[in-house]
């Protein structure tokens, strides 16, 4: 039986079927040169891995905003990950995260920019919230930093939370960049204040599988 990759070669920018290969790794696909050029900054580290092949032995990291359960203020932290090929398309690389410093179990991910215009970041990027969705049941403490940021006027989030920033296009692949506390923190605080509050509360934000990351 043919694998999905035998039948379909998605462009890593727009996800349309593509025939143009990355000139270096000969694996990543693009539908046109403009998309290849636009994706090079993100693809460069992936390209090195795809050329080498095999299990990823290099520890990589991306910056996130930590909303500590036991602290009064958010702060930037480095979150480690390794590349892991998608089971259907080998040149699509997912992130295998090391969540252990903050979560005992695999956390959930929400994007806070797609379901209501009031949550659309003004700077045109996407924001993701990683959190423990079982905090009501597992004894996680109330998140003190979120309580402080919102003066207690928020959903009773529990446990540590991480905020990530992604740049477009992010419909299928997460393109991470370091968060900007000045720009992004107000967006997260706005989300914390409004989520689940009052009779006109917005619908639940999109739930993303971790394979998106």
> Mind listing the pLDDT tens digit of every residue in the chain (213 residues)?
445 556 789 998 888 899 999 999 999 999 999 999 988 988 998 999 999 888 888 889 999 999 999 999 999 999 999 998 888 888 988 888 999 999 998 999 888 764 444 444 444 578 899 999 988 888 899 999 999 999 999 989 999 999 999 865 555 566 788 898 898 999 899 999 888 665 444 434 444 444 445
Q: What is the maximal distance between C-alpha atoms in the chain?
A: 58
User: Residue 41: helix, strand or coil by DSSP?
Assistant: helix
Question: pTM to 2 decimals?
Answer: 0.79
CA distance to 96, 165, 169, 196, per residue, from 147 (Å): 30, 22, 32, 15
Half-sphere exposure (Cβ direction) of 93: Cα atoms closer than 13 Å: 26
Nearest to 40 by CA among 53, 57, 52, 25: 25
Q: What is the DSSP letter of 206?
A: P
């Amino acid at each position: 039986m043919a694998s999905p990759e035998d039948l379909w070669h998605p462009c890593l920018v727009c996800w349309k079927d593509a025939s143009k290969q990355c000139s270096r790794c000969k694996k990543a696909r693009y539908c046109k040169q403009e998309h290849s050029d636009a994706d090079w900054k993100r693809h460069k580290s992936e390209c090195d891995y795809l050329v080498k092949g095999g299990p990823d032995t290099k520890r990589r990291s991306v910056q996130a905003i930590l909303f500590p359960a036991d602290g009064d203020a958010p702060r930037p932290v480095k979150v480690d990950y390794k590349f892991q090929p998608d089971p259907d398309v080998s040149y699509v690389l997912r992130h295998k995260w090391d969540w252990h410093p903050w979560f005992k179990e695999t956390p959930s991910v929400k994007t806070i920019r797609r379901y209501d215009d009031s949550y659309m970041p003004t700077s045109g990027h996407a924001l993701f919230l990683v959190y423990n969705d079982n905090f009501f049941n597992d004894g996680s403490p109330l998140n003190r930093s979120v309580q402080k940021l919102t003066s207690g006027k928020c959903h009773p989030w529990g446990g540590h939370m991480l905020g990530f920033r992604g740049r477009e296009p992010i419909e299928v692949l997460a393109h991470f960049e370091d968060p900007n506390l000045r720009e992004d923190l107000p967006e997260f605080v706005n989300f914390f204040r409004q989520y689940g509050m009052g009779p006109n509360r917005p619908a639940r934000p999109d739930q993303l599988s971790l394979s998106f990351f």
